[in-house]
Structure 1
Amino acid sequence: MSLTGKTLFITGGSRGIGLAIALRAARDGANVVIAAKTAEPHPKLEGTIHTAAAAIMEAGGNALPLLLDVRDADAVEQAVAQAAAHFGGIDICVNNASAINLAKSEDIEVKRFDLIQQINMRGTFLVSRACLPFLRKSANAHVLNLSPPLTMRADWFAQHLPYTLSKYGMSMVAFGMAEEFRGEGVAVNTLWPKTTIATAAVEFALGGEALMRRSRRPEIMADAAYAIFKRDARAYTGNFVLDEDVLREEGVTDFAHYRFDPDQDLEIDIFVDPALKAE
Structure 2
Amino acid sequence: MSPFTDRTLVVSGGSRGIGLAIALGAARRGANVVLLAKTAEPHPTLPGTVHTAVADVEAAGGKGVAVVGDVRKEEDVQRAVDTAVEHFGGVDVVINNASAIATEPTEQLSAKKFDLMMDINVRGTFLLTKAALPYLRKSPNAAVITLAPPLNMSPHWLGAHPTYTLSKYGMTLLSLGWAAEYADAGIGFSCLWPETYVATSAVANLAEGTLMSSSRSPEIMADAAIEILSRRAGEVNGQCYIDSAVLAEAGMTDLTRYGGGDSPILDIFVDKS
Q: TM-score range by the shorter chain?
A: over 0.9
Please tell me whether the aligned partners of residues 193 and 221 of structure 1 are also in contact (alpha carbons under 8 angstroms): yes
1: distance between equivalents of 2:78 and 2:21? Answer: 25
Q: Residue 221 of structure 1 corresponds to which residue in structure 2?
A: 221
Q: Residue 98 of structure 2 aligns to a residue in which SS?
A: coil
Residue type at the aligned position of 2:257? H
Task: Determine the structure 1 residue equivalent to 2:117.
Answer: 116
Q: Which residue of 1 aligns with 2:241?
A: 241
Q: Which amino acid aligns with 1:50?
A: H
In structure 2, what is the Cα distance between the partners aligned to 1:265 and 1:64? Answer: 38
Q: Indicate the SS of the match to 2:9.
A: strand
- Paired residue secondary structure (1:182): coil
**1:133-156 per-position Cα deviation (integer Å, ceiling 9, x unaligned):** 000111100000001001112221
CA distance in 2, matches of 1:235, 1:209: 38
The match for 2:152 is 151
Q: How many residues align?
A: 272
Over residues 93-121 of structure 1, what are the superposed CA-to-partner deviations in whole Å (9 max), with x where a residue is unaligned?
00000011111111111011001100001
Runs of 4+ in 1 over 4 A off after TM superposition: none
The letter of the residue matching 1:200 is: S
- Secondary structure of 2:210's partner? helix
The aligned residue for residue 167 of structure 2 is: 166
Which residue does 2:70 correspond to in 1? 69
The farther-off stretch of 149-158 and 112-121 is 149-158
Contact persistence 2:101–2:164 (CA under 8 A): yes
Following superposition, the deviation at residue 208 of structure 1 comes to 3.3
Shift of 1:210: 1.7
Give the match's secondary structure for 1:25.
helix
Distance 2:142 2:136 in 1: 5
1:188-267 aligned at under 5 Å gives the runs: 188-204=189-205, 206-260=206-260, 262=261, 265-267=263-265
Distance 1:208 1:257 in 2: 24
Displacement, 1:86? 1.3
Unaligned runs of 5+ in 1: none
Percent sequence identity over matched residues? 51
Contact residue 4 and residue 29 of structure 2 kept, 8 A: yes
Gaps of 5+ in 2: none
TM, length-normalised to structure 2: 0.97
Distance 1:154 1:202 in 2: 24
What pairs with 1:29-178 in structure 2 (closer than 5 Å)? 29-178=30-179
Are 1:103 and 1:162, in contact at CA under 8 Å, matched by a contact in 2? no
The Cα offsets for residues 220-262 of structure 1, whole Å up to 9 and x where unpaired, read as 00000000001000232100110000001101121101014x4
Matched residue, 2:269: 271
Q: Which amino acid aligns with 1:187?
A: G
Shift of 1:75: 2.0
- The 3-state SS of whatever aligns with 2:67 is strand
Q: How far apart, CA to CA, are the structure 2 residues paired with 1:221 and 1:91?
A: 19
What amino acid is the match of 2:233? A
Q: Deviation digits for residues 160-205 of structure 1, max 9, x if unmatched?
A: 111111111110110100111110101100000000000001011x
In the alignment, the residues of structure 1 paired with residue 199 and residue 27 of structure 2 have an alpha-carbon distance, to the nearest angstrom, of: 21
**Secondary structure in 2 matching 1:235:** helix
- RMSD over aligned CA atoms reads 1.0
Secondary structure at the aligned position of 2:34 is classed as strand
In 2, distance between residues paired with 1:234 and 1:241? Answer: 15
Structure 1 residue 214: Cα displacement: 0.4
What amino acid does structure 1 have at the position aligned with 2:268? I
